[in-house]
A and B are shown apart, each in its own frame.
Chain A
């Protein structure tokens, strides 16, 4: 019998991505899975490799970036091993993307309906299925947009509306997995909440899984089922979101949680002591050790491996692994 646990939608195995000839990989042997119907948050500071990992899964990595190791299994099929043509035929149907909120992700010269229709027409024989208009209206309704938006151009929409169009476009082919890359960044707070709610509604209505990339633990708490924390290209902790908030095992996770602004009070950012190491410098031990309040002599020499530290809970930290 297949339980959601042993039949994940997406399994990332030992993924390693390098930029050019830099000494340290941008994504360093990362393993995680996205389970059926769940939202997995992938969290870290900018530059930690989370977006690079997402782009690798989508095969949108641009040179000089390249995947140097690992597999990306979607329902057991390795996406990275496919031919370009084969992958193109499969891509939006299996994994789609909701881009960063700050991006001009919509083509400025095409109407909303044409951009959604493009995604459908690239993968279906649209002639046999009748007119697309009702389908597009339905998709827009799914994200709470009126059908007149169909005929508009991107510049006639607000940032939040544009982002919701992107969400509608992402689910146009009902893919089992949607990757949302900082979907609420650069939107104002009220709009952020609307967009986040749209994502959650969509997931609940359509039952798709979602990989949610972000740096904001608050958003993760609101949306994600589990979170995976990345630091300097490595996964440092992965666990159900409630557990992580209750008792984070990795000191970096703790700092991330403490830096989250809560309504009414804004605590000073605790993570800001220094920054993550650059990609040019190789570190022998734990990359977080220089910023870690609990660093031990061992941390400087021996990189910690991901270890089970509870049911459905893994972390890579010498300090928290101590008895």
Chain B
């Protein structure tokens, strides 16, 4: 039993190390990019801030904050250390476009929207897609289900933001069923009341649909393949011989095993889904972190870009860590043996 505990502890340590490594790698990239870009972009940036500063109060303070954040006069390793330290403490400096707001305040405003949209859409897509795929790969399923396959394939090749454009055109512009922008109606500001909740759901349906429909096919295809493999396994044959009810056979012997690689694949896809959602938010002017990132690009607000990106990288790594840590709950081969 002690070896069991050892292996699960090793798993935990490995996952945590991956988490730290990913964040370190991502933040280091973010540190290097402005310094490696041609034509000393930081100098250009400071110049741009100064030129814009005329119309902003406290411009001196802002430029100074910017300079200390990059610590341009300090040696590189000090700049790097300070940058990592600040990023990990979510001290992201002042936004230029929304001065005197701090980037962390903007993150705080955008985070809930992105978090809600992405987690609901991803979980929904994963569950519905996997269930569909499981049914498609199950030998005893009705033949008609095989017709779902071409549809799944079809939607898998549409990127979320492009479907988003189509959805806006049909359901917001054409049919006027849903709003085409924003996350809630302005007459219902965020608060603990049903009006706001309904408004937020109403605004969230189209962007969520854009993500769910386009990613669902991916899960369906993966699950189908795994289900085909699983239904040929020896334990499946023995379970059939035992005369189990088809439902039990399907869920506890089929799906329960076939879902394991899907979860691994979920962890690997979170980064891509988050990236794609930046574009979805942009198309729907959905006030999440992706849209703020776009605002940063439009306004040359490098503090906002850097800050948003760092938070997105840390956020995705955290989501991956959560999935990785949940995995042993599904697969006893990694779980602690003496629980």
**B242 contacts across to A, CB distance below 8 A:** 91-92, 96, 118-119, 122, 169
Verify B234–A99 contact, CB threshold 8 A: yes
Scoring A residues 40 to 71 as 1 if CB is less than 8 Å from chain B, else 0, what string do you get? 00000000000000000010100000000000
> A50 vs B281: C-alpha distance in the bound complex, in angstroms?
62
- A211 vs B37: C-alpha distance when bound (angstroms): 76
Report the minimal beta-carbon distance from A135 to chain B, rounded to whole angstroms: 16
| Contact among B239, B260, B330 with A107 in the assembled complex (CB-CB below 8 Å) | B239
| Pair B243/A89 contact, Cβ less than 8 Å | yes
Q: Which residues of A contact B241 (CB under 8 A)?
A: 58, 60, 91-92, 96-97
Provided the pairs A155-B332, A156-B4 are in contact, do residues A109 and B243 lie with their beta carbons within 8 angstroms? no
Given known pairs A91-B243, A92-B242, A122-B242, the reply for A104 and B234 (CB within 8 Å) is yes
Return chain B residues, CB-CB under 8 Å to A213: none
Q: Which residues of A contact B235 (CB under 8 A)?
A: 104-108
**A27 interface contact, C-beta 8 A:** no
- B331→A109 contact, CB < 8 A: yes
User: How many Å from the CB of A140 to the closest CB on chain B?
Assistant: 17
B contact residues around A90 at 8 Å (CB)? 243
Residues of B within 8 A of A122 (CB): 242-245, 248
Q: Within the complex, what minimum Cβ distance (angstroms) separates B142 from chain A?
A: 15
B337 in the interface (beta carbon within 8 A): yes
Which residues of chain A are near B234, meaning CB under 8 Å?
99-100, 103-105
A153 in contact with B333 (CB, 8 Å): yes
Q: In chain A, what residue has the closest Cβ to B259? A: A109
Whether A166 contacts B332 in the complex (CB less than 8 A), given A107-B253, A108-B257, comes out as no
Residues of A within 8 A of B257 (CB): 107-109
Does B256 have its Cβ within 8 Å of any Cβ on chain A?
Answer: yes
Residue of A nearest to B260 (CB): A109
- In the assembled complex, the CB of B282 is this many whole angstroms from the nearest CB of chain A, namely 41
In this assembly, does B141 line the interface, its C-beta being within 8 Å of a C-beta of chain A?
Answer: no
CA of A104 to CA of B257, assembled, Å: 13
Asked whether B240 is an interface residue with its Cβ less than 8 Å from the other chain, the reply is yes
Please tell me if B36 contacts chain A, counting CB pairs below 8 Å: no
Bound form: Cα–Cα A97–B242 in Å: 8
Give Cα A16 to B146, complex, Å: 32
**Contact status A109-B256, CB under 8 Å:** yes
Q: At the interface, yes or no: A88 with Cβ under 8 Å from chain B?
A: yes
- Assembly CA distance A157 to B333 (angstroms): 12
Closest-by-CB residue of B relative to A89 is: B243
* Complex: chain A residue closest to B254, CB-CB: A107
Which of B238, B245, B252, B260 touches A105 (beta carbons < 8 Å)?
B238
Interface residues on B, range: 20 to 34
* A110 adjacent to chain B (CB < 8 Å): yes
Residues of chain B within 8 A of A87, CB atoms compared: 243
Q: A128-167: which residues lie under 8 A (CB-CB) from chain B?
A: 153, 155-156, 166
Interchain CA distance A63-B294 in the complex, whole Å: 56
List A contacts of B244 (CB < 8 A).
118-119, 122
Which single residue of chain A is at the shortest CB-CB distance from B330? A109
Q: How far is the CB of A181 from chain B (nearest CB, A)?
A: 10
A258 to B4, CA, bound (A): 45
B333 to A166, Cβ gap below 8 A? no
Q: Does B237 contact A (CB under 8 A)?
A: yes
CB B319 to nearest CB in A, in angstroms, measures: 24
Return chain A residues, CB-CB under 8 Å to B240: 60
B105 adjacent to chain A (CB < 8 Å): no
In the complex, whether B60 has a CB less than 8 A from a CB of chain A is no
Can you list, as one digit per residue, whether each of B295-308 has a CB less than 8 Å from chain A (1) or not (0)? Answer: 00000000000000
Interface flag for A123 (CB, 8 Å)? yes
Q: Quick one: which of A60, A93, A108 has the most chain B CB within 10 A?
A: A108
Across the two chains, which residue of chain A brings its CB closest to B232? A62
B21 to chain A, nearest CB (A): 28
Which residues of chain B are within 8 angstroms of A97 by Cβ–Cβ distance? Answer: 238, 241
Q: Are B237 and A108 in contact (CB under 8 A)?
A: no
Q: Point out which of B233, B238, B333 has the most chain A C-beta atoms below 10 A from its C-beta.
A: B238
Contact check, B332 vs A153: say whether CB atoms are below 8 A apart.
Answer: yes
Cα distance, A109 to B330, chains bound together (Å) = 7
In the bound complex, CA of A104 to CA of B242 (Å): 15
User: Contacts A88-B243, A107-B253, A118-B242: A155 and B233 contacting too (C-beta < 8 A)?
Assistant: no
Output the least CB separation between A18 and chain B (Å).
20
Q: In the complex, are the beta carbons of A155 and B333 less than 8 A apart?
A: yes
Are A107 and B252 closer than 8 Å at their CB atoms? Answer: yes
User: Within the assembled complex, what's the spacing in Å between the Cα atoms of A90 and B242?
Assistant: 10
The answer to whether A166 touches B243 (Cβ under 8 A) is no
Q: Which residue of B lies closest to A152 (CB)?
A: B337
A-chain residues with CB within 8 Å of residue B256 when the two chains form the complex = 107, 109-110
Q: Which residues of A contact B239 (CB under 8 A)?
A: 107, 118
Considering the complex, give the chain B residue whose CB is closest to the CB of A109. B256
As a 0/1 sequence over residues 279 to 320 of chain A, the CB contacts with chain B under 8 angstroms (1 = contact) are 000000000000000000000000000000000000000000
Q: How far is the CA of A104 from the CA of B229 in the complex (A)?
A: 14
In B229-288, which residues have CB < 8 Å from any A CB? 233-235, 237-245, 248, 252-253, 256-257, 260
- A99-B234, A110-B252, A119-B244 are known; give 8 further A-B pairs, CB within 8 A: A60-B237, A89-B243, A105-B234, A108-B235, A109-B260, A118-B242, A153-B333, A156-B337
The 9 closest A-B pairs by CB, nearest first: A103-B234, A91-B243, A153-B332, A119-B242, A105-B238, A107-B235, A97-B241, A88-B243, A92-B243
Some 8 contacts from A to B, beta carbons below 8 A apart, are A103-B234, A107-B235, A107-B257, A108-B333, A109-B256, A153-B332, A153-B333, A155-B332
